[in-house]
């Protein structure tokens, strides 16, 4: 993917995008987990542009189904992307490969949500635990990355690509998420979910700064792909006994 982006896509992206890239100085040395929000099918390419220009080889934890798609499969295999077999025994093997890669000094990009957000306003959903699990298992930093603008080029789950007028692509790198209070503990599901909530809180706050607004309502659930219903009583209902 690196050669592909540099030789073919980078010149095109330089022409059709404006770039608001901030926080690259926060990228650690050596291996780490890069954890971005996911808003469009084109944002992996736009993030790869950011990474290449900052000396980072793009390597994603990608859905295994992509490896079977003609052309795309050849690209992701040639770029040594890591297939993840979700909801199968192969998922654990994918994460082991990711841990080994990070420990070997590579940067592995893992979308915490595992899919494009279904929130109508494109805020991060509650997320899967893979990014946190790899960071804690490898002992390497977990770096949040908030992005915005790719949805103007290709709206989520849309097929209509809008290249003009030029879109501004915002990519902001945050400080590594502090996971020191979880280090050395058994990686239980409860611990992983609490640590993942911390990551998503950081991503949401960073995205809020880019957008100049805050999310409304509860966070979409990545498992049900719906917004949880409020557990508060309906204020229009009178529950007092007469």
- The pLDDT of residue 6 is 74
Enumerate residues 6+ apart whose C-beta is below 8 A from 135.
Answer: 32, 33, 102, 141, 142, 177, 179
Q: Take residue 238 and report the two structure tokens written for it.
A: 């009178």
Q: Take residue 7 and report the two structure tokens written for it.
A: 């030789």
Name the phi and psi angles at 207, rounded to 5: -65, -35
b (16+ CB within 10 A) / e for 48-70: bbbbbbeebebbbbbbeebeeee
162 within domain boundaries: yes
- Residue 186 DSSP symbol: -
231 within domain boundaries: no
Mean pLDDT for 93-114 is: 91
Q: What is the pLDDT of residues 145-158, one digit of tens each?
A: 999 999 999 999 99
- The pLDDT of residue 103 is 96
217 within domain boundaries: no
Residue 167 CA: distances (Å) to CA of 13, 17, 145 = 10, 5, 19
82 within domain boundaries: yes
Q: What is the pLDDT of residues 15-45, one digit of tens each?
A: 999 999 999 999 999 999 999 999 999 999 9
Instruction: Enter the pTM of the model.
Output: 0.86
230 within domain boundaries: no
Residue 91 CA: distances (Å) to CA of 19, 61, 149 = 35, 11, 31
Lowest mean pLDDT, pick from 23-32, 173-182, 226-235: 226-235
Share of the chain above pLDDT 70, in %: 81
Residue 135 CA: distances (Å) to CA of 57, 69, 112, 228 = 18, 29, 12, 28
> At 98, which CATH number?
3.40.1130.10
**Residue position matching structure tokens 């909530």:** 197
48 within domain boundaries: yes
Residue ranges making up the domain that contains 184 = 2-211
Q: Of 91, 63, 88, 56, nearest to 173 (Cα)? A: 56
Q: Take residue 68 and report the two structure tokens written for it.
A: 């079977």
Residues 47 and 241: their CA atoms lie apart, in Å, by: 58
Radius of gyration of the chain (CA): 19
12 within domain boundaries: yes
Q: Take residue 71 and report the two structure tokens written for it.
A: 């052309």
Number of domains in the chain: 1
């Amino acid at each position: 993917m690196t050669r592909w982006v540099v030789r073919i896509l980078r010149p095109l992206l330089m022409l059709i995008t404006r770039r608001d890239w901030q926080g690259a100085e926060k990228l650690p040395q050596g291996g780490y987990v890069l954890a971005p929000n996911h808003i469009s099918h084109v944002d992996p390419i736009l993030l790869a542009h950011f990474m290449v220009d900052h000396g980072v080889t793009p390597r994603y934890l990608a859905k295994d189904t992509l490896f079977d798609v003609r052309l795309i499969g050849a690209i992701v295999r040639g770029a040594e992307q890591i297939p993840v077999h979700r909801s199968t025994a192969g998922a654990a093997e994918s994460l082991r490969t990711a841990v080994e890669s990070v420990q070997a000094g590579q940067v592995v990009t893992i979308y915490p949500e595992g899919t494009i957000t279904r929130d109508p306003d494109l805020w991060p959903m509650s997320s899967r635990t893979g990014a946190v699990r790899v960071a804690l298992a490898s002992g390497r930093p977990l770096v949040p990355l908030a992005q915005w603008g790719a949805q103007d080029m290709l709206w989520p789950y849309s097929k209509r690509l809008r290249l003009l007028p030029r879109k501004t692509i915002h990519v902001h790198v945050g400080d590594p998420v502090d996971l020191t209070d979880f280090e050395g503990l058994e990686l239980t599901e409860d611990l992983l979910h609490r640590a993942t909530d911390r990551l998503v809180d950081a991503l949401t706050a960073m995205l809020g700064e880019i957008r100049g607004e805050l999310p409304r309502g509860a966070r979409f659930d990545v498992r049900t792909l719906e917004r949880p219903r409020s557990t508060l009583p309906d204020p229009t209902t009178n529950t007092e006994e007469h």
